[in-house]
Structure 1
């Protein structure tokens, strides 16, 4: 499954991550709740942000998935990605405070999920750390179904989520 370079949302777009997007990774690592609720490391320096983006660009080039920047009016407000794994694609996302409360996370999740389901995936998976109710609401609004509570190998408790093609709403 080769990811597209761009997906259009109502009033925004998802575009493939670029080398200069290290600035967004740098900013996300400094938002207090992003490292708390995701696997973003806290307070990444410039070199660390550049390396993180470089690893993701290599992941895309190797066909293992990749990230998109969520842009509105030219402003980068967050990222969303799709990891292509043996058990199906896994969705992940993080937004700056300026990108929250606008419906962008839900629209980005819907768009990338719809794309994956239309391009051969039977199901799209996601997970939220226990207590991340904002992210849970995003997945619920995007027609994901809550799955079991699990403990990751690193001891983090997560809720598994999934969305199959039969549960995706038809675009309006």
Structure 2
């Protein structure tokens, strides 16, 4: 999967661009937002070194064609990240936003754009997981045309809701 460097968003001044090595401060900032580690697998309060390592792993994933992350920019500032990772059962989308990027529909638009890109480029479906009780993330996926597809317990013992968006549920594939 060769991800593009930039995906447009229908919001003036907003775009998705490929994560770069100098984006580690965004990872560090996301780790300091209390609900990001609470509702995701994002570690809490990471150091600069750990943030740099996380970004480096994401860049290696992209270079290997197994996925990657995009920075969600608004007026040139990074306000969140959306990733796509190829797993054995298909691509999965994940995302996290700073408070400055919330309440504007950016998460929904970014998830929708990444999922649509994957579907147009050959994926049969795109999946996501939310931890039970993460209502805000559930709303993002619902608005991005994902449907609930069951409940699982992940390898870490966390109960998650499964979500799927298929070509059939992709509004632009009608």
Specify the alignment match of 2:146 in structure 1.
144
Q: What secondary structure is seen at the aligned counterpart in 2 of 1:170?
A: helix
**1:30-68 deviation per Cα after TM superposition (whole angstroms, max 9, x unaligned):** 000000011110000000000110011011101110000
Aligned to 1:42: 44
Runs of 4+ in 1 over 4 A off after TM superposition: none
Alignment of 1:18-167 (within 5 A): 18-167=20-169
Instruction: Say if 2:5 is the partner of 1:5.
Output: yes
C-alpha displacement at 1:169, in angstroms? 1.1
Root mean square deviation, CA, Å = 0.9
Q: Deviations over 1:91-114 (max 9, x none)?
A: 000000010010000000110111
Distance 1:153 1:119 in 2: 29
Give the TM-score, by structure 2 length.
Answer: 0.96
Q: Distance in 2 between matches of 1:85 and 1:3?
A: 15
Secondary structure in 1 aligned to 2:171? coil
Structure 2 unaligned segments of length 5 or more: list them: none
SS in 2 for 1:23: helix
Distance 2:47 2:63 in 1: 24
Equivalent residues, number = 171
- Whole-angstrom CA distance in 2 between matches of 1:60 and 1:170: 26
SS in 2 for 1:92: strand
Unpaired runs of 5+ residues, structure 1, are none
C-alpha displacement of 1:170: 2.5
CA distance in structure 1 between the partners assigned to 2:54 and 2:145 by the alignment: 30
CA distance in 1, matches of 2:77, 2:62: 23
